[in-house]
């Protein structure tokens, strides 16, 4: 009888221990794509990318243009250098948005007269962001850098909306170089 | 693979039957209980996202009842009922699955919520042959039976801006009964005429349960359709002669 009691106790104890294990675990992961940003708290990695550096002999200027599009959102960044030289590289540095030679547009896709088009969602004013070009491999034609900015828009009822685009990065992103 | 293992069991059974020739004394029938650890093996243990048979099984607690009835000298028929727990997803594995789904679906990010765990009971029956040497007895058993799954890990996958898969989906927990087979070796030490201390190793294999999904709209990425089940349990217990 004692053996049966011991057996019953052991089995019930083990079952009780096992029954208490009801954990929930949440794992997360973010894209490792070479061009991405955090738009209003959500990771965004464009699936359509255009990345160019263009030299103009006529104006002796060089323009870096990076455009990404995905899920009704589009970011276009442009940096224009004056007195540039005709090489496939680009000057490293931090470029603050000045709405003239350093421009960023945050666009969203909207229905305009039956056509879906990308239009600016607010304005990225001078001083409201920056682009850092941290590395350029002019042989492989790859560019690396970061960016962040905010776009401010005002609705018809004067309600102000601010879109925060933070933690933007482009890593070893291939570009095409054009000289004309 | 599965049929090969069945053949091995049949050959082992024939071997055991042949071994009965020349056996001298009748071995006492017994019953008992055991407890120990269950270790996941092979694909069941694997944590590779890209292996659709990977089960993320763990080491866990096992316990149960065991007995054998000897009907001819050293040859008997043994049976066991075993509960075993083979764990649940941990954070590292959930992160790994999330990374895999993010990549497979070209999503911006993914969240994988893991709930439930491997909890099973197997009931197995098969021929047993026992070698005796002094106070030691070595039992060899090949058995087959059923594996009842009370639950398997369930995952809820939430993708953000994924290709071909907009809604979140579940990989559902399974609670079915499937066939299983086992090979067991147990070393018994005679503490007294009717009490034995037993060290036991039991290999268990099954094709496992079918796995279903809810809300999944594409076969892109990791797709588990059946979860193979392979474990080896090492236990200690007491047996009582009848």
pLDDT at B22: 46
pLDDT of residue A158: 87
Per domain, the residue ranges of chain A are 33-179
- Do B161 and A70 lie within an 8 Å CB cutoff? yes
| 3-class secondary structure, B74 | coil
Q: Do B85 and A27 touch (CB under 8 A)?
A: no
Distance from CA of B42 to the nearest CA of A (A): 24
pLDDT at B167: 84
Q: Which residues numbered 44-63 in B keep a CB inside 8 Å of some CB on A?
A: 61, 63
A4 pLDDT above the threshold of 60: no
Which residue is listed with tokens 């589009």? Answer: A74
Nearest to B117 among A11, A21, A32 (CB): A21
Residue B90's CB is within 10 A of a number of other CB atoms, namely 16
Q: Please name the residue of chain A whose CA is at the shortest distance from the CA of residue B90.
A: A25
Chain-centroid distance, C-alpha B145: 12
pLDDT tens sequence across A131-165: 999 999 999 999 999 999 999 998 888 899 999 99
Q: Provide the ipTM.
A: 0.79
The pLDDT, as a whole number, for residue A19 is 58
Contact B108 A18 (CB under 8 A): no
Domains contained in chain B, CATH given:
2-241 (2.40.160.20)
A93-96 and A48-56 strand pairing: unpaired
CB pairs under 8 A between A and B: 89
The whole-number pLDDT of residue B34 equals 96
Nearest to A14 among B61, B97, B240 (CB): B61
Identify the pLDDT of residue A18. Answer: 60
- Is A176's pLDDT higher than 60? yes
Contact B61, B84 (CB under 8 A): yes
Decide: B68 and B125 in contact? Cβ < 8 Å.
Answer: no
**Rounded distance between C-alpha atoms, residue A133 and residue A93, angstroms:** 5
Least Cα distance to A130 among A107, A108, A158, A101 occurs for A101
The alpha-helical segments, DSSP class H, found in B60-190 are 91-104
Residue A65 burial (CB count, 10 A): 16
Q: Rounded to whole angstroms, how far apart are CA atoms A26 and A32?
A: 19
Question: How far apart, in whole angstroms, are the C-alpha atoms of residue B241 and residue B93?
Answer: 45
CA–CA separation, A111 vs A117, rounded Å? Answer: 6
Bridge pairing between strands A48-56 and A176-179: parallel
Q: What is the DSSP letter of A4?
A: H
The closest CB to that of B161, out of A25, A29, A71, belongs to A71
Strand boundaries in B58-135, DSSP class E: 60-72, 75-85, 109-115, 119-133
**What's residue B164's pLDDT?**
77
pLDDT (tens digit, 9 = 90+) per residue, A8-28? Answer: 676 666 666 665 566 899 999
User: CA-based Rg of chain B, rounded to a whole angstrom?
Assistant: 22
Q: What's the confidence (pLDDT) of residue B5? A: 59
CB contact under 8 A, B108 and A45: yes
Query: Closest by alpha carbon to A77, among A89, A63, A87, A88?
Result: A63
Average pLDDT over residues A33-43: 94
Q: How far is C-alpha B165 from the chain's CA centre?
A: 34
Which residues of A are less than 8 Å from B94 in CB distance? Answer: 25-27
Select from B88, B95, B161 the Cβ nearest to the Cβ of A28.
Answer: B95
Contact status of B106 with chain A (Cβ, < 8 Å): yes
Q: What is the mean pLDDT of residues A77-91?
A: 96
CB contact (8 A) between residue B109 and residue A18: no
Burial of A119 (0-12, 13-18, 19+ CB in 10 A): exposed
**Minimal C-alpha gap between A143 and chain B (Å):** 21
pLDDT at B46: 97
Residue B27 touches partner A, C-beta closer than 8 Å: no
A47 contact residues in B (CB cutoff 8 A): 106
Say yes or no for a CB contact (<8 Å) between B111 and A28: yes
How are beta strands A93-96 and B177-190 bridged, if at all? unpaired
Nearest to B235 by CA among A22, A10, A6, A5: A10
Q: Which residues of chain B are under the pLDDT cut of 70?
A: 1-24
Q: Is A159 left (phi over 0), alpha (psi -120 to 50) or beta?
A: beta
**A88-110 residue pLDDT tens:** 999 999 999 998 999 999 999 99
pLDDT digits (tens, 9 = 90+) for A100-139: 999 999 999 999 889 999 999 999 999 999 999 999 999 9
Q: Are A149 and A130 in contact (CB under 8 A)?
A: yes
Q: Cβ contacts of residue A4 below 8 Å, gap of 6+? A: none
Question: Can you name the residues that pair with A38 across neighbouring β-strands?
Answer: A43, A166
3 state SS of B197: strand
């Amino acid at each position: 009888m004692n053996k049966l009691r011991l057996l019953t106790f052991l089995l019930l104890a083990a079952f009780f221990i096992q029954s208490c294990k009801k954990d929930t675990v949440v794992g997360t992961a973010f894209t490792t794509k070479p061009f991405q940003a955090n738009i209003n708290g959500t990771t965004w990695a464009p699936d359509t990318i255009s990345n160019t550096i263009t030299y103009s002999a006529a104006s002796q200027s060089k323009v870096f243009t990076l455009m990404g599009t995905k899920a009704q959102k589009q970011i276009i960044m442009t940096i224009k250098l004056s007195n540039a030289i005709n090489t496939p590289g680009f000057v490293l540095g931090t470029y603050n948005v000045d709405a003239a030679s350093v421009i960023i547009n945050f666009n969203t896709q909207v229905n305009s007269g039956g056509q879906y088009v990308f239009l600016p969602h607010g304005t990225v004013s001078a001083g409201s962001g920056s682009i850092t070009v941290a590395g350029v491999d002019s042989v492989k034609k790859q560019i690396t850098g970061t960016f962040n900015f905010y776009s401010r828009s005002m609705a018809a009822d004067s309600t102000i909306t601010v879109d925060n685009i933070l933690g933007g990065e482009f890593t070893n992103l291939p570009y095409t170089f054009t000289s004309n | 693979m599965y049929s090969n293992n069945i053949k091995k069991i049949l050959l082992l059974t024939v071997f055991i039957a042949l071994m009965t020739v020349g056996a001298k004394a009748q071995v006492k029938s017994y019953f008992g209980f055991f407890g120990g650890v269950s270790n996941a093996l092979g694909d069941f243990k694997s944590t590779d996202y890209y292996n659709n048979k990977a089960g993320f099984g763990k080491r866990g607690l096992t316990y149960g009842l065991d007995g054998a009835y000897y009907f001819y000298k050293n040859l008997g028929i043994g049976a066991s009922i075993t509960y075993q727990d083979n764990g649940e997803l941990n954070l590292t594995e959930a992160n790994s699955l999330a990374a895999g789904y993010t990549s497979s679906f070209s999503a911006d990010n993914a969240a994988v919520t893991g709930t439930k765990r491997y909890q099973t009971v197997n009931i197995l029956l098969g021929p047993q042959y026992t070698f005796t040497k002094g106070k030691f007895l070595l039992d060899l058993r090949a058995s087959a039976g059923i594996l009842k799954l009370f639950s398997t890990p369930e995952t809820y996958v939430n993708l953000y801006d994924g290709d071909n898969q907009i809604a979140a989906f579940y990989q559902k927990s399974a609670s079915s009964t499937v066939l299983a087979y086992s090979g067991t070796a147990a070393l018994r030490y005679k503490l007294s005429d009717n009490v034995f201390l037993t060290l036991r190793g039991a290999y268990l294999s099954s094709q496992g349960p079918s796995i279903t999904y809810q809300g999944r709209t594409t076969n892109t990425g990791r797709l588990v359709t059946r979860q193979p089940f392979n474990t080896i349990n090492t236990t200690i217990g007491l047996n009582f002669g009848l």
